[in-house]
Every structure is written in C-alpha cells, then in structure tokens.
Amino acid sequence: MSDLYESVQHAGNIVPRLYLLITVGSAYISTKEAPVKLILRDLLDMVKGVQQPIRGLFLRYYLLKMMKDKLPDKDSEYESPENGDVNDAIDFILQNLSEMNRLWVRLQHLSSQKDKEMREVERNELRVTVGENIIRLSMLEGLTFEIYKNTVLPKILEIIVICKDTLAQQYLMECVIQAFPDEYHLQSLEQLLETTANLNANVDIKSIFVNLMEKLSQFAKDAKATEGEEKTEEQQEIANIAQNLDIFKLFKKYTDKIIDEQGKTIDVSRLLELEVAFMNFVISTYPTNLDYVNQILESCNNILKSTPINNSDKNCMKLLVKLLTIPLETHSL
C-alpha cells in the first residue's frame, strides 16, 4: 500500500492525481498499515494544490465522503493512541470546512458583473458541499458538549464571522442551528446570539432567530411534557438549565443590540419582521406573560420613534397590524 500511495503521486495532472491519492489513501487506512492521523494530515496538505474554487470544492467533498467512516472517532476501529482520537477527527473536519468555505466565497469573484446572478445561483447549489462538514461534525460519536463548546463551536463561529460573506454567514449559521442538538444550543445560547451581532448587515438575522426560537421553544415544551419521568443525570441537568435560563431575556438583549447597532443601516421593515417573529415566539412560549408582550411593543415604539415610516409603506403597515393583533387574538382581549 505504501508503494501504491507513493506511485499515484506521480500521476501527470494534479486533479486526477489527488482523486487517486484520496482513493488509495482511503484503502491505505482500511488496511491499518499506517496511522490514520498521518494520512489525514497528508491528504489535507496535498489537496491545497487545487485552488480553483469549483474543482477544489468537489475534491474536498470527495475527501470528506471517502473518510467519513475511517475517522478516529470514539469506539471506532480506527481509534487508538497511534491512529488518533476524536480530537484528530474534529481537527480534520474543521480544517476542511475552513478551506471549503474560503473556496466557496471566492467563487463569486470568478466572473464579470453580468454573470454575477448566475454565480449566485451556482453558489447556492454548491452550499451543501460546505454544509456537509458541519453535519459530519454533529454525527461524531465522541463529540461531547464540552468539546463542542470549547473547540467546535468557537472555531465554526470564527470561520463564519471572518469570511464576511452574506450567503456563507446565513447558510452556515442555519446549518449550525439545524445540525447540533437543542440541548447544546440551550447551554451555548449566548455564544450564538453574540455572533449574530457580528454578522453582515445584509444577513437575514430574523430567520436565524426564528429557527433558534422555534427549536428552543419546542425543546422547552418537550422538557415540560416529560416532567416527573425518570431521567439520566445529564438529562436532569439540561432540564434544570432549561427551567432556569431566561430565554426571553437573552433574545431581548440581542434583539435590542441589533436594533441599536444596525437600526440606521438596515430597512425598518426588517427590524419589524424581527419583532413579529419575537412576538410569535413569546406568545407560544410564555402565553400568560403580558409583560413580555409589552416589552416587545415598547421596542417597536422606539424603532418607529427613531425611524418614522411612510403611510404608503404597505409592508411595514402589515407588520404593525400583525404586531398589534397577535396578542389580541391570543389573549382574547
């Protein structure tokens, strides 16, 4: 296998050479003739040779797919002191994610202005190749909340903020919310919300907040429904966090922060959409708490004081009607 691994590196063209190298590297790992972490590191270095965005994305996607069942994960046949452990698997995927995201962002600069729309469509279609890394991370058996909070989440959030690309930031934030367990989000909510304040002004923060709100309110309902049932120590701890964490207070803090920092630069209708989503969340999660409803209406009042809207702005008018009618209908006032 070592001879074969060596010989494919002499193939003429770089793209077929690297596909061959990944294929042989995968078989090499299967034979257990070489330490997994060394081959993973070697392949990551080698694939840097392809910097053309589309070719690079597909090559790295192929690498990820070929290695998904050969990573040194917990209880895997490839885990050992020599082969590495789940930390090596995480390091491999995070490096691949970082490079793939960079290639994906660069894709928009490949063409002239008139091809820009076509490139955006192409980028949208290729986003799943990048998101696959986050899905793969969430499926690792050895991923604990401690590793997630201290290593995985900070690194992913750093990749998201640094890229400064609206499409990438939007998609990767939604990927993180959908891929990882609700209890992880519950215990790291402040980290996630803090990041939303550092995203591009064009990112649709409303949809990110709505996704988070929906997942967490469902989680809180499920936790309430299973009250009294026997739980493991970890489940008990998470249930306590859910009860003691004031989700409203956290969302309110960061909603207000976004309004303060971006209120002058983004369209007022987007701020009102955010408040409508927040109102819906509060009504479903805290149905009896009128004080929370009042606080949201007070925020909207402040938005409109600083940015008056025109009577002909039908979208804003519809949103205001929604804001006023949601509590009226729910509380039968």
Chain segment 193-213, per-residue pLDDT in tens: 999 888 988 888 888 988 888
Q: Residue 108 has what DSSP assignment?
A: G
Contact 86, 72 (CB under 8 A): yes
Residue 215 in this model has a pLDDT that exceeds 90 = no
Range of weakest confidence among 137-146, 215-224, 268-277: 215-224
Query: What is the average pLDDT across 247-270?
Result: 82
Taking only the tens place, the pLDDT of each residue in 65-84 is 999 999 999 989 999 998 88
3-class SS at 228?
coil
Confidence of residue 172 (pLDDT cuts 50, 70, 90): very high
Burial class for 15, CB neighbours closer than 10 Å (0-12, 13-18, 19+):
middle
Give dist(CA 168, CA 242) in Å, integer.
Answer: 30
Q: What is the reported pLDDT for 132? A: 96
Confidence of residue 104 (pLDDT cuts 50, 70, 90): very high
Asked if residue 217 belongs to a domain, the reply is: no
Taking only the tens place, the pLDDT of each residue in 262-274 is 767 778 888 888 8
Higher pLDDT, 93 or 209: 93
Asked if residue 109 belongs to a domain, the reply is: yes
Residue 227 in this model has a pLDDT that exceeds 70 = no
Asked if residue 42 belongs to a domain, the reply is: yes
Predicted TM-score (pTM) of this structure: 0.86
Contact 141, 75 (CB under 8 A): yes
Nearest in space to 7 (alpha carbons), one of 250, 20, 76: 20
* Cα distances (angstroms) measured from residue 32 to each of 7, 25, 143, 273: 19, 11, 24, 55
Asked if residue 75 belongs to a domain, the reply is: yes
Q: What is the reported pLDDT for 133? A: 97
Taking only the tens place, the pLDDT of each residue in 147-171 is 999 999 999 999 999 999 999 999 9
Q: What is the reported pLDDT for 61? A: 97
Q: Residue 81's domain spans which residues? A: 2-180
Asked if residue 305 belongs to a domain, the reply is: no
Confidence of residue 112 (pLDDT cuts 50, 70, 90): low
Q: Residue 202 has what DSSP assignment?
A: T
Q: How many residues does the chain have?
A: 333
Residue 258 in this model has a pLDDT that exceeds 90 = no
Q: How many domains does the chain have?
A: 1
Residues with Cβ < 8 Å from 332, sequence gap 6 or more? none
Asked if residue 94 belongs to a domain, the reply is: yes
Q: What is the reported pLDDT for 271? A: 86
Residue 333 in this model has a pLDDT that exceeds 70 = no
Q: What is the reported pLDDT for 210? A: 83
Mean per-residue pLDDT over the chain, rounded? 88
| Single-letter residue type at 103 | L
Asked if residue 311 belongs to a domain, the reply is: no
Contact 279, 248 (CB under 8 A): no
Give dist(CA 115, CA 85) in Å, integer.
Answer: 45
Asked if residue 222 belongs to a domain, the reply is: no
Q: What is the reported pLDDT for 103? A: 95
Give dist(CA 15, CA 58) in Å, integer.
Answer: 10
How much is the CA Rg of the chain, to the nearest whole Å?
24
Nearest in space to 133 (alpha carbons), one of 184, 92, 166, 162: 92
Range of weakest confidence among 144-158, 175-189, 219-233: 219-233
Q: Two tokens at 27?
A: 């078989």
Q: What is the reported pLDDT for 228? A: 64
Taking only the tens place, the pLDDT of each residue in 35-50 is 999 999 999 999 999 9
Q: What is the reported pLDDT for 55? A: 95
Q: What is the reported pLDDT for 213? A: 85
Give dist(CA 20, CA 8) in Å, integer.
Answer: 6
